Amino acid sequence: MADKKDETITDLKELGGAVAAEAKTEKKAEKADAPAEAPAKREPKLDAQGRAYATGRRKDAVARVWLKPGSGKVVVNGKDQGVYFSRHTHRLILNQPFLIVNRVGQFDIMCTVKGGGLSGQAGAVRHGISRALENFEPALRPALKKAGMMTRDDRIVERKKVGKHKARRTKQWAKR
Residue 145 belongs to a domain: no
Q: How much is the pLDDT for 35? A: 55
CA distances, 29 to each of 19, 22, 24, 33 (Å): 15, 11, 9, 6
Q: What's the whole-model pTM score?
A: 0.74
d(CA 112, CA 110): 7
Q: Is residue 166 domain-resident?
A: no
In a domain, 8, yes or no: no
On whether residue 105 sits in a domain, the answer given is yes
- 109, part of any domain: yes
Q: Based on the structure, what is the number of domains in the chain?
A: 1
Q: What is the CATH number of the domain that holds 65?
A: 3.30.230.10
Residue 163 to residue 168: CA distance in whole angstroms: 10
Is 46 part of any domain? Answer: no
pLDDT in tens, 23-59: 566 656 555 555 555 566 788 888 889 899 999 999 9
Residue 67 lies in a domain: yes
Give the residue numbers spanning the domain of 59: 52-140
Model pLDDT for residues 112-167, shown as the tens digit of each residue: 999 999 999 999 999 999 999 999 999 999 999 999 999 999 999 999 999 999 99
